[in-house]
Amino acid sequence: MRSLKFINTTSLTIAIATCGAVGSAEAEIRAIEEIIQHQEEINSQRSAIPALPYFESQTDANCAIHAINMALGERFISTEYYDKYTMFIGAKSLINKENPNEGYITENQYHALVHFLNPENNLEDFNEKIKQLELNFNSAASNLPNKIELEDYLNQTGVLGRKKAIENVIIVINKIYNLNLPINLNKFNDDNLARLAWDFENVASIVVYTDDHFFVLRKYENNWYQLDSLLQGPQILLNDNPINWLDEFTLNHDETHIIYFTSAQIEAAKNALHTKSPHLSNEIPFHLPKSVFDSLPPMLSPEPSEATFNEQEIWYFPHYDKADYKNIANEVVHMALGTELITPDDYERYLNLIAIKNNPHVSGRQRRLMRKYYDAGESTGEFYTREMLEEAWDLAAYNDALLYKEYLHQTGVFDQDKNIYNVINTINDLYDLKIPNEFNIEANANVANAERMIVDLDGSFVVLRRDLNDKWWLLDILAQNPKLLSEGPKNWLQKTAQFFPNIKLLCFTVDDILKLESPTKNLPTPFADSMTKSDPFGRDFVEEFFYLPSLSPLELQYISEELFSEQPAFQDNTYKFLHEFILKLFRQGGGDRSKILETFNAFIEQIPVSNSTSSSTSTSERKYKEEINPDTIKAFREAAAKWGLEQTNQQPH
C-alpha cells in the first residue's frame, strides 16, 4: 500500500476545514482507517492475480514435446529440430560399423535419412520425398537380417509427424544442453506416490501420461496448473495439492504414468538454455546449440576461409564470450551496420522514457512511475528501487495495461532479451535515420539490392555481408571469425530454407549503409533528467481522476501530493489548473468516475478566481479553457474514453 504524505497539503487541509467537510478528529481517523482498509483489500485482490505459466497448443502428434517444454517453462525444442537432431545425430549412434549385423540401422540407411534432408534433394512434394526415403531406407537393409524398415523406424523415433516417446524427447534435450534430466516414466502407484510426497517440497512440475496423451501439472507463482496442449490454455487446479489431484484422477484412469522435475533441475535447464544458446525471437523462443551451424550438415556450413580475421579489422565483429547474451540483438545489428551505435543503457532509456509514451498498453501512472525510477529521488524526493517499481507498476495496470513482467518481455529491458526491431527503432530515433526494421520472407525481401542482411533462422541470427571484392561472408556472433561463402547469398539462402522453412531476412542497401558514414547521436533530454517537462500538459497525470470508481477525500489528498511532487513535469498553466481542479473536487466531497468529465466540462467554462479579481478587463474575461493548453482538455477526453465515458459526458468547448 502506498504511504501517505501530509506535508504538502496545506491548501487542501484549509479547504476541508473551511467547507466543514470533516467532523471531529476521532471521526476523521475512523473514516480514513475504513478507506485505507478498503484500498488494501482492492490492492490485495489486484496483486493476487497471477501471471500464467508457459503454454503450448497441440500440433499433430507432438504432445510429448509440448509437455516437456511446458514442464520446463520455455520452448527448449521444436518438432522440426527434434526431427533433424534425431535423423542427423541420433541415427548416427545406431550404426555399428565394425559389426553391421549388430547395429540398429545400417550405414546406408543412415545415408538415406541424410539424403532425405539434404537441400540438394530436389523433390518438392513431401509425399514423394517420403516414398523415395522409404525405397532407399528399406532397400539398404534388404541384405541384412533383422534390420528394421522405415515404418518401424518412424514409429519408434517419432520423427516426421509420428507420435514421440517422451523418453526420446528428454534424451535429445539432455544431449543438446548437456543436462541430466530424468527420462523414465513410472506408473503412479502407492510406491511412486510415497516417493513424490517425500520430495514434494522440491517438485516444480509433473508430466502425466494416460490414455495415450501427455499433459503437465506445473507449480507457478505459488499456484498449481494443469497444462494440457489439447485445452485452450492453463487451467488452475481447484485442488491445489497435485498429489491429491492425481490420486483422484487415477480412480478413473488405471494406466497413469508420471515423471517429475524439481525446481533445481528446471533452473539448471534454463541456465543451460540461455547460456549455451541465447535467443532473441519472441515469436519462436528456440535456440540452436553453440554456433548456428555446428549441428547441421556440411553442405550448409561455409567453407573455411583463406582470409584471416585480421584482414577484416574494419568490420565490427564482437565475440560472444565478450558479450552479454541478453544484448546480442544490439550486437547483431551493429555487426550488420558495421559500427557500434547504441549502448544497452541507450536502448533501455529509450524504451522506458521515450517509446513508452506511445505504448497504448502502458497506463499514465505506469509511465510516471518509470520516470520516478530514473529520477532516483532528485526531483520528487521518492527513490524507487527496481523491486518497488515492480510492485507499484502492477497495481497501476488499469484496463488493458501490461503487468511488469509482460512489459519487460515486450520491450526487452532490465536484463531481458533485447529485440532487433526495438534496437533499430532506437537507432533510427537517436540518429534521425530511416534504417529498415521489418523482417520479410525471402520472396519479399530486397535481396537483389542488399549489401548486408540479418538472417533469422528460427530465432537465431547471423549476418551476411559483401566485401570490397564482391565476396560474401557469414558473420555468426557465436563463431570465432567471419566465414567465406563459397557461393552467392541467394543459393545459400535457398539451401538453408530447406532446413529453416520460416527463414526471414532484413536487408540493408548501399543507401542504408551510406546514411551511417557520419552518424550523430542526439540523446533526448529525458535521458539525463527524466522528470522536467516530462508531462507538460498532464496527459499522463489526468488519468489519476479515472482509475477508481469514485474519488474520496483521501484519494484526492494523495493525488494532490503526487501533483506537488511532480511539479517540474508540467509547463505553462498546467500545474495551477490541475491544482485548482483538485480543490474543486475536494469542496464537493469527491465524486464518482462517471461524473468527473461532467465536472471538468463545467469547470473549464469558469473564470479562474485569480482572473476574476484582476483589474484587467481583458484578463478577467478569460475562462480556464482559454488559459490552459488544448492538449490538457484533449487528455481529459482521452482518459474518459478509456472508461467509456466520452459519449455521455461530451460537451462542446
The CA distance from 343 to 378, in Å, is: 24
Helices (H), 412-534: 420-431, 489-499, 510-514
576 near 624, Cβ under 8 Å? no
pLDDT for residue 279 is more than 50: no
In this structure, what C-alpha cell is assigned to residue 554? 483521501
228 near 234, Cβ under 8 Å? no
pLDDT for residue 192 is more than 80: no
Cβ-based neighbours of 20, under 8 Å, separated by 6 or more: none
Exposure string over 241-270, b if 16+ CB within 10 A, otherwise e? ebbebbeebbeeeeebbbbbbbeebbebbe
In this structure, what C-alpha cell is assigned to residue 218? 506445473
Average pLDDT over residues 520-530: 91
The predicted-structure confidence for 144-182, as pLDDT tens digits, reads as follows 666 788 999 999 999 988 899 999 999 988 888 888 899
Pairing of strands 203-210, 591-592: unpaired
The predicted-structure confidence for 474-506, as pLDDT tens digits, reads as follows 888 766 678 888 888 888 888 888 777 788 999
The predicted-structure confidence for 127-151, as pLDDT tens digits, reads as follows 888 888 898 888 887 666 667 889 9
pLDDT for residue 468 is more than 90: no
Strongest mean pLDDT among 288-292, 396-400, 416-420: 416-420
Give me the amino acid identity at 204: A
The count of residues in the chain is 653
Largest distance between two CA atoms of the chain = 112
Of 464 and 621, more confident = 464
Average pLDDT over residues 220-233: 90
Average pLDDT over residues 386-393: 91
Of 650 and 103, more confident = 103
Strand partners, 209: 214, 257
pLDDT at site 142: 62
CA atoms within 13 A on the CB side of 224: 18
The CA distance from 493 to 558, in Å, is: 60
pLDDT for residue 18 is more than 50: no
Assessment of whether the complete model's pTM goes beyond 0.85: no
The CA distance from 456 to 218, in Å, is: 32
Cβ-based neighbours of 211, under 8 Å, separated by 6 or more: 253
What is the number of other CB atoms lying within 10 angstroms of the CB of residue 163? 15
Average pLDDT over residues 95-119: 79
Average pLDDT over residues 570-593: 89
Strand arrangement, sheet containing 504-508: 440-441, 504-508, 452-457, 460-466, 472-475, 483-484
User: What does the mean pLDDT of the chain come to?
Assistant: 79
Q: Read out DSSP for 296-348?
A: S-GGGSPBPPSS-GGGGTTS----GGGS-GGGHHHHHHHHHHTS----HHHHH
The predicted-structure confidence for 438-456, as pLDDT tens digits, reads as follows 898 878 888 888 999 999 8
452 near 336, Cβ under 8 Å? yes
Of 272 and 424, more confident = 424
The CA distance from 381 to 369, in Å, is: 13
457 near 288, Cβ under 8 Å? yes
pLDDT at site 319: 52
In this structure, what C-alpha cell is assigned to residue 587? 469542496
Lowest mean pLDDT among 98-102, 544-548, 600-604: 98-102
What is the number of other CB atoms lying within 10 angstroms of the CB of residue 458? 22
Lowest mean pLDDT among 9-13, 251-255, 334-338, 540-544: 9-13
The CA distance from 437 to 74, in Å, is: 27
CA-wise closest residue to 480 among 622, 304, 619, 361: 304
Strongest mean pLDDT among 32-36, 94-98, 344-348: 344-348
Calculate what percentage of the chain has a pLDDT beyond 90: 28
The CA distance from 152 to 357, in Å, is: 58
pLDDT at site 214: 95
pLDDT for residue 256 is more than 60: yes
pLDDT at site 292: 44
pLDDT at site 644: 78
The CA distance from 321 to 177, in Å, is: 18
The CA distance from 559 to 422, in Å, is: 34
Per-residue confidence band for 46, with pLDDT thresholds at 50, 70 and 90 = very low
The CA distance from 554 to 57, in Å, is: 47
The CA distance from 258 to 192, in Å, is: 9
> For the chain, which residues make up each domain, given as ranges?
50-276, 325-515, 539-610+618-643
Task: Return the H-helix or E-strand segment holding 419.
Answer: none
Of 123 and 297, more confident = 123
User: Cell match 541478453: residue?
Assistant: 326
pLDDT at site 363: 92
pLDDT for residue 282 is more than 50: no
User: Cell match 509427424: residue?
Assistant: 161
User: Cell match 499433430: residue?
Assistant: 60
